[in-house]
């Protein structure tokens, strides 16, 4: 179909034909690399949206008694900032890397279910757009009437009930998150099957790169955590749209039900956000230290332990709700315990750096920044596990400082390390290293200027979620510093964008293996061909590609294998490259995932505005799914 | 539901388990958390109703026992459908698939009847906590049964187009996994929600 379209358009002019082919190609692609790039770019656009929202919040709080945003606007903006950064930025950025890297790292030609993968992306994109459309539903947006949800990213009931939050904002929030949950579930299922089933010969579980391991744990957390959130959101949906009583206190409903549901999802979610970043850092550090990762099994098992333990800590979000001393003690202890596997990882990363011949490139800067900032974030987290201390910290800026320290200082620094590290693999060009370091230092300085003052503000008793504060109680100075820091972060992001655009066109040509990498993705061309591997590699050890390039001398130091033998595909692979190239079947492109995905926001709009639209949406969804099931996925034999 | 000629289906998988089968197991694992959360909400709210109607005023245990029996028997016919396609007997498979779908529809009709009865006795979604938790939990279960009926009917329809042959038994097997799961969830719901009736 794409070919026919191109043919018709070609008569109109060559330039258009090329563009059309490109656009149609992207809309129907099932290639994990293209989907990963789209995931990343879409999440980055949402990152800019969420970043602007953060700046608006910081401008409002820069000095006492300001009215830059009125309380309604402030509530909407901070809610959308949190919701956006978690569901539309950090999660999908992690998923973007999982898409790009998992098949390459395990020696597969694509994910197990390429169309499900495309479906996941389109549902995510449409869900994110749906959520942001809520801004326009509050009246005249040009007069500052924002319709966006204004109940915080955690959406505590009963504030989210129609009685207390009339208007459509919360409807958009609950239905939007439901849609995004479907995208996450589809991704989670797909990655688990891919990792368990699609590994190259010899790629046993304990030869997999740590990033793949962390992706596996993340995917399991996704498929078990998202349904819990889905149920909470469904209950809210029935309350708001059909007058059910799940959170109606007059009839005996309890807000604690929502909190249990939300945080039973919400705490595994925290690790869904951080584990992919930990995986990326675990790839970057060995490459730039020119040493294997210290204690590979320990890092892997720690990640798995974190995955299990993340299910037993949720009530530390609820210490002040009166669960009782026994529950508080138990969750306090489990919260202390989960710091152990996390601490194990930090020491393993440090030991990886220790004694390595460090190459101080931008990815390593961000990785070390990750370790330092995440350690502060982790330690402030441990302080919450002490229940009496948490009584004081609860709902103060200390909490805000803590979770930004782990989500920005942790997850985002890790993701930036990943972007600088893998950019050459997928574009064929290097990001500029000098500007990368400018990017890093601005971000590190801006980050610390923004969030360390929040620790102080929390200790000084400044509560979260307040739109303004009076003069003369000592909060003005630190707030001003934090606002200045936020603009330094914004500057660092601008530097990154500039570097990104410049490097795409003029960056140094990377070659296959610019960093002297250790994992399989560096053994193939940059950018990789559609089928990834001409010959599926056979794996003999952890860091297999490194061992193809280096042997050890008697003192245990690496010695390069002579050029020519370096990228030896032979090595026991099935048949030779020439034969294999004929037999590669790649999945067909398909529009049906996009069609099916379009059904979701239609159903959601229908639930808010007109039930007739629900049926239209359901038909579109069903049409997409049936078309999908009935079309052949690969070339006919 | 046709076993498509996907690129991956020609390859051996690392675990030896078919990709689609693994996907179904993971999906069912995820569904456990979904129904687990719904059931937990029901149990948490079990004795917190401040106004009626209360469960013992509306339940008709003999009736629901019969419709539960119908749903359980559908698992037997599902197994027979799978056995039929695995030995290549397409005609028997059609009969048993149709029987399974019909038993499912019978169960759904029973549920529709039950909902109407409850409604007439004054139990609505917005009456009290019981109404909200009961209708949402059993409603989601009913929706799962309905999706199952749709899947079975689709396989049946494809079989009349000659598209379901012995080598496609995996499609029936996966539909069966889903169907049995929905049955098992009903056993839990019937026990916890109906039999252990609060006052």
Measured in angstroms, the CA of A202 and the nearest CA of chain B are apart by 9
Tally Cβ neighbours within 10 Å of residue B23.
20
> Is the pLDDT confidence value at A255 over 70?
yes
Q: Assess whether pLDDT exceeds 70 at residue B199.
A: no
Residues 6+ apart with CB under 8 A from B89: none
Is B47 at the interface with chain A, CB within 8 A? Answer: no
Q: Which CATH superfamily is domain B18-47+59-195 in?
A: Cytochrome c oxidase, subunit III, four-helix bundle (1.20.120.80)
Work out the pLDDT band at A609, boundaries 50, 70, 90. Answer: very high
Percent of chain A with pLDDT over 90: 84
**The predicted structure's pLDDT at residue A587:** 84
Model confidence at A302, pLDDT cuts 50, 70, 90, reads very high
Work out the percent of chain A whose per-residue pLDDT is above 70: 92
- Are A599 and A624 spatial neighbours (Cβ–Cβ below 8 Å)? yes
- The nearest CA of chain A is from the CA of B133 a distance in Å of 7
| Candidates B7, B14, B33; nearest CB to A585 | B7
The verdict on B37 touching A (C-beta cutoff 8 Å) is yes
- Mean pLDDT over all residues of chain A? 91
Across the A:B interface, residue pairs with CB atoms under 8 Å apart total 132
pLDDT for the residue numbered A499: 97
- Contact between B30 and A242 using a beta-carbon 8 Å cutoff: no
Predicted structure pTM score: 0.93
Instruction: Say if the Cβ atoms of B129 and A228 lie within 8 Å.
Output: no
The residues that bridge with A559 in the sheet, in sequence order, are: A551
Residue A192 has pLDDT above 50, yes or no: yes
Is the pLDDT higher at A11 or at A225? A225
- Nearest Cβ partner of A636 from B2, B5, B129? B5
- B6 interface with A at CB cutoff 8 Å: yes
Contact A109 B7 (CB under 8 A): yes
Nearest to B95 by CA among B109, B108, B107, B78: B78
User: How far, rounded to the nearest angstrom, does the alpha carbon of residue A578 sit from its chain's CA centroid?
Assistant: 39
Residue A634: per-residue pLDDT: 62
B126 Cβ under 8 Å from any chain A Cβ? yes
Residue A352 CA to residue A285 CA, distance in Å, equals: 7
The verdict on a CB contact (< 8 Å) between B2 and A629 is: yes
* Contact residues for A360 (Cβ-Cβ < 8 A; gap 6+): A288
> Which residues of chain A are within 8 Å of residue B185 when distances are taken between CB atoms?
none
Residue A142: band (very low, low, confident or very high) from pLDDT cuts 50, 70, 90: confident
Question: Which of A258, A52, A65, A257 lies closest to A152 in space, CA to CA?
Answer: A258
By C-alpha distance, the chain A residue nearest B125 is A244
In chain A, where the domains are located: 30-583, 596-632
Instruction: Please give the Cα distance from A551 to A572 (Å, whole number).
Output: 18
Q: What is the mean pLDDT of residues A500-504?
A: 96
- Helix, strand, coil % over all residues of chain B, rounded to 5: 75, 0, 25
pLDDT digits (tens, 9 = 90+) for A7-36: 333 333 333 333 335 788 889 899 999 999
Assigned CATH for A30-583: 1.20.210.10
| Cβ–Cβ under 8 Å, residues A76 and A169 | yes
Cβ burial, residue A91 (10 Å; 0-12/13-18/19+): buried
Set of chain B residues whose Cβ sits within 8 Å of the Cβ of A244: 125-126, 131-132, 135-136
Exposed, middle or buried, B161 (CB in 10 Å: 0-12/13-18/19+)? exposed
A586 band by pLDDT with thresholds 50, 70 and 90: confident
Inspect the interface and report whether the beta carbons of B132 and A246 lie closer than 8 Å.
yes
Residues on chain A touching B17 (C-beta within 8 angstroms): 197
Considering only CA atoms, which of A87, A279, A305 is closest in space to residue A183?
Answer: A87
Give residue A582's pLDDT. Answer: 53
Is A253 in contact with B129 (Cβ distance < 8 A)? yes
Q: Which residues of B touch A635 (CB under 8 A)?
A: 5
User: Residue A637: pLDDT above 60?
Assistant: no
Interface contact B6-A244, CB threshold 8 A: no
Phi, psi of B112 (to 5 degrees): -60, -45
User: Does position B5 have pLDDT exceeding 80, yes or no?
Assistant: no
CA torsion angle for B152, B34, B43, A153 (degrees, to 10)? -150
Alpha-carbon distance A552 to A484, whole Å? 51
Chain A CB contacts of B49 under 8 Å are 251-252
- Single out the residue of A253, A255, A188, A176 nearest to residue A217, CA to CA: A188
From chain A, the residues in CB contact with B50 under 8 A are 250-252
Kindly report, residue by residue over B97-155, the tens digit of the pLDDT. Answer: 999 999 999 999 999 999 999 999 999 999 999 999 999 999 999 999 999 999 999 99
Residue A578's pLDDT is what? 43
CB contact under 8 A, A238 and B125: yes
Is the per-residue pLDDT at B4 higher than 80?
no
Interchain pair A193, B41: CB under 8 A? no
Q: For residue A139, what pLDDT is reported?
A: 84
For A539-568, what is each residue's pLDDT tens digit? 999 999 998 998 888 777 788 887 554 444
Closest residue in chain A to residue B10, using alpha carbons only: A585
Nearest to B4 among A110, A189, A633 (CB): A633
A81-95, A131-145, A572-586, B134-148: which range is least confident on average? A572-586
d(CA A470, CA A172): 33
ipTM above 0.90, yes or no: yes
Q: Scan for tokens 């890297």, then name that residue.
A: A101
pLDDT value for A114: 94
Question: What's the rounded mean pLDDT across residues B40-47?
Answer: 92
């Amino acid at each position: 179909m794409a070919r026919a379209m191109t043919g018709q358009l070609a008569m109109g002019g060559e330039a258009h034909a090329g563009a059309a082919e490109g656009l149609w190609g992207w809309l129907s692609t099932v290639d994990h690399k293209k989907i990963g790039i789209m995931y990343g770019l879409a999440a980055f656009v949402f990152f800019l949206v969420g970043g602007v929202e953060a700046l608006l919040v910081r401008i409002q709080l820069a000095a006492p008694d300001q009215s830059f945003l009125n309380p309604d606007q402030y509530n909407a903006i901070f809610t959308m900032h949190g919701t956006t950064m978690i569901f539309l930025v950090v999660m999908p950025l992690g998923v973007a890397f999982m898409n790009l890297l998992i098949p390459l790292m395990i020696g597969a030609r694509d994910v197990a279910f390429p169309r499900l993968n495309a479906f996941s992306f389109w549902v995510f994109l449409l869900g994110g757009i749906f959520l942001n459309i809520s801004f326009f539903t509050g009246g005249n947006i040009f007069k500052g009437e924002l319709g966006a949800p204004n109940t915080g990213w955690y959406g505590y009931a009963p504030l989210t009930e129609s009685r207390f939050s009339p208007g459509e904002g919360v409807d958009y929030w609950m239905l939007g998150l439901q849609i995004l949950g479907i995208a996450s579930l589809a991704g989670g299922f797909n990655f688990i099957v891919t990792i368990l089933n699609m590994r190259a010969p010899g790629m046993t579980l304990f030869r997999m790169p740590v990033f793949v391991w962390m992706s596996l744990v993340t995917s399991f957390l996704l498929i078990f955590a998202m349904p819990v959130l889905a149920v909470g959101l469904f209950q809210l949906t029935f309350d708001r749209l059909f007058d059910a009583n799940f959170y109606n206190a007059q009839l005996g409903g309890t807000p604690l039900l929502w909190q249990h549901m939300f945080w039973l999802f919400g705490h595994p979610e925290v690790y869904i956000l951080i584990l992919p970043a930990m995986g990326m850092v675990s790839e970057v550090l060995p490459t730039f230290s020119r040493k294997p990762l210290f204690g590979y099994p320990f890092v892997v098992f720690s990640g798995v332990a974190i995955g299990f333990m993340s299910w037993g800590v949720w009530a530390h979000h609820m210490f002040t709700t009166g669960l009782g001393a026994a529950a508080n003690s138990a969750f306090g202890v489990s919260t202390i315990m989960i710091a152990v596997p996390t601490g194990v990882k930090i020491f393993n990363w440090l030991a990886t750096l220790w004694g390595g011949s460090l190459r101080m490139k931008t990815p390593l800067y961000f990785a070390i920044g990750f370790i330092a900032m995440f350690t502060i974030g982790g330690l402030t987290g441990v302080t919450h596990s002490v229940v009496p201390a948490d009584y004081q910290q609860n709902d103060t800026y200390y909490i805000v400082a803590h979770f930004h320290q782990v989500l920005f200082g942790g997850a985002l620094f890790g993701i930036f390390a990943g972007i600088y590290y893998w950019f050459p693999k997928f574009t064929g060009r290097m990001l500029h290293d000098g500007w990368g370091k400018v990017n890093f230092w601005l971000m590190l300085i801006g980050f610390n200027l923004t969030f360390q003052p929040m620790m102080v503000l929390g200790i000084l008793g400044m509560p979260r979620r307040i739109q303004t504060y009076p003069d003369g109680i000592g909060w003005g100075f630190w707030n001003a510093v934090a606002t200045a820091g936020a603009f330094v972060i914004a500057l660092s992001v601008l530097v990154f964008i500039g570097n990104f655009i410049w490097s795409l066109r003029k960056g140094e040509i990377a070659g296959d293996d610019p960093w002297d990498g250790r994992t399989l993705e560096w053994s193939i061309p940059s950018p990789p061909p559609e089928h990834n591997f001409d010959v599926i590699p056979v794996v003999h050890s952890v860091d297999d590609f490194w061992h193809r390039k280096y042997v050890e001398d008697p003192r245990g130091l690496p010695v390069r294998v002579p050029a020519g033998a370096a990228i030896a595909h032979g090595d026991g692979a099935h048949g030779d490259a020439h034969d294999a190239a004929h037999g590669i079947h790649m999945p067909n492109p398909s529009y049906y995932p996009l069609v099916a995905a379009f059904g979701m926001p239609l159903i959601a709009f229908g639930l808010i505005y007109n039930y007739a639209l629900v049926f239209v949406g359901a038909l579109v969804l069903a049409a997409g799914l049936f078309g999908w099931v009935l079309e052949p996925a690969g070339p006919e034999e | 539901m046709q076993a498509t000629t996907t690129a991956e289906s020609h390859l051996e998988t690392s675990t030896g388990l078919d990709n689609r089968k693994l996907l179904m197991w993971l999906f069912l694992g995820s569904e456990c958390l979904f129904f687990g959360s719904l059931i937990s909400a029901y149990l948490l709210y079990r004795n917190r109703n401040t106004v009626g109607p209360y469960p013992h005023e509306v339940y008709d245990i003999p009736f629901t026992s019969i419709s539960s029996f119908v749903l359980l028997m559908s698992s037997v016919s599902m197994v027979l459908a799978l056995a039929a396609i695995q030995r290549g007997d397409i005609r028997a498979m059609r009969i048993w698939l149709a029987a399974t779908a019909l038993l499912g529809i019978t169960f759904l009709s029973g549920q529709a009847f039950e909902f109407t009865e409850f409604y007439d006795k004054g139990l609505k979604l917005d009456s009290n906590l019981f109404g909200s938790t009961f209708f949402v939990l059993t409603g989601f279960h009913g929706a799962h049964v309905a999706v199952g009926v749709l899947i079975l009917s689709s396989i049946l329809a494809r079989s009349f187009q000659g598209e379901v042959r012995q080598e496609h038994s995996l499609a029936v097997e996966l539909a069966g996994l889903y169907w049995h799961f929905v049955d098992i969830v009903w056993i839990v719901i019937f026990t916890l929600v109906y039999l252990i009736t609060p006052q």
